Structure 1
Amino acid sequence: MADLIFYTNPQSRGQTVRWMLEEVGAPYDTEILGYGTSMKEEPYLSVNPMGKVPAIRHKGKVVTEVAAICCYLADAFPEARLAPPTSDRADYYRWIFFTSGPIEAAFSNKAAGWEPTPERQRMFGYGNYDLAINTLEKALTGREYIAADHFTAADLFVGANVNFMLAFNLLEPREVFVDYARRMTDRDAYRRAQEIDGRLIAEMQAQQAPQPA
């Protein structure tokens, strides 16, 4: 068994962590969990009591939450150069956690058909959807990368979220978003990750298909 175990379902946010693992290049084992079944049972609940994926276990230590996993892997495998030097991580942390907090909350609530009323916007970390999205647009405008002079875990995480929102029509296809998502996903590690998860999804769908009588 590898020192690094990846718990996931290919139809989940685990796709972002798969991409990160392929960028890192370290060997890892994968455990596939089912929604409503093995994801909500032991032994996985001992890994993540929330009963959700993704998660990783590295040298016996568990990390959950996609942003945290990406940051952890960038630090655990510095040879992959997926984090800037510690003295130059302000934008790196800022935009990873802006995306995992305000952006995810804004688009999740919008997808559910709900947004806070003007008098309640102070109660929410993102204010309103337009404010969060316009702030992200400003952060990306005029930059090749969002947090350094090269691709980092921040670009992977932000790029994965922008790409997801565009794919599911949760984000207006402004030129800056479309261009950024295209450039960030134009990587061999991304293509490998998509191929792996695509194959797993196809296998799951084949198993679930009704069998001929």
Structure 2
Amino acid sequence: MITLHHCPQTRSMRTLWLLNELEIEFRVRVHAFDRSLRDPEYLSLSPAGRVPALEIEGERMFETGAITEYLCERFSPERLGRMPGTPDRMAWLVWVHFAETLSQHTAALTQQHVALREDAMRSPIVMKLEAARVGKCYDAIEARLSTPVENRDYLLTSGFTAADISVGQAVYMARHFVTLDRHPAVADWYARITGRDSFAPSLPEPGTGIYDREFYPPWPME
């Protein structure tokens, strides 16, 4: 049995979406996004106290990129994964892990807008810089999707893969702070992949996520 340890609207949503797309049997244990992730029992699953953590046949995994690679190699090497020796292997690895580049900037914005409760603790300068970095990540995805080749509906020419799930989930989070208005190719691709049946079950139940609104406008500079 596979058990996913999950907090709604965090990186573990990436693994949940992938598991839904794989259509394999699994169960989800939902955790509060709080200090309970520092409990010794949970730290035995994920030593940094982060989600996701994955239990599978007595083994334990953490880190979304590693989990994605393992699950694809085992359960979907040709459809959602791209194995060594295949033409798109290099691009698949790049985009699976590029998701974390975007996620780290979104995490900084989440800290500024959501986690810091007092206005005096927030930094408009940090918010502006991190939002600009999210925009640069959107630029990279836009450039990839705008490449004039056939079948560029997804990040890989060979079709939809876990790379789209990984980056798509990162964009889902980033859209809470930076819109896709200036990135039409990204917007079209995002609509395409989130229209899949596997996406909706990955979303949080109302009131269970870490965000209390769809969009957080830029914090005003003094």
**Normalised by the size of structure 1, how large is the TM-score?**
0.75
Whether 2:65 is the aligned partner of 1:67: answer yes
1:199 Cα deviation (Å)? 6.8
The sequence identity of aligned pairs, in percent, is: 24
Query: Does residue 1:169 correspond to 2:177, yes or no?
Result: yes
Alignment of 1:26-65 (within 5 A): 26-65=24-63
Bigger relative contact order (CA 8 A; separation at least 6): 2
Structure 1, unaligned runs of 5 or more: 118-126, 203-213
Secondary structure of the residue aligned to 1:86 is: coil
Structure 2: where are the runs of 5+ without partners? 113-124, 210-222
Distance 1:148 1:200, change over 3 A: farther
Matched residue SS, 2:18: helix
Aligned partners of 1:8, 1:70: CA distance in 2, in Å?
15
In 2: Cα distance, 1:129 partner to 1:31 partner? 30
| Structure 2 counterpart of 1:139, from 125, 137, 144 | 144
Trace 1:191-210 onto structure 2 (pairs within 5 A).
191-194=200-203, 197-198=204-205, 201=208
Normalized per residue, which structure has more helix? 1
Deviation at 1:11, TM superposition (A): 3.7
Q: Distance in 2 between matches of 1:28 and 1:108?
A: 27
Superposed displacement of residue 83, structure 1: 0.8
**More off after superposition, 132-141 vs 49-58:** 132-141
Deviates more, 1:105-114 or 1:72-81: 105-114
User: Could you say if the C-alpha distance between residues 93 and 62 of structure 1 is closer, same or farther in structure 2, counting changes exceeding 3 Å?
Assistant: same
**What is the CA-CA distance between 1:76 and the residue it aligns to?**
1.7
Structure 1 residue 77: Cα displacement = 0.6
Q: CA RMSD in A?
A: 2.8
- Matched residues, number: 187
Deviates more, 1:68-77 or 1:32-41: 32-41
Specify whether residues 130 and 182 from structure 1 end up closer, same or farther in structure 2 by C-alpha distance, changes over 3 A only.
closer
What is residue 97 of structure 2 aligned with on the other side? 97
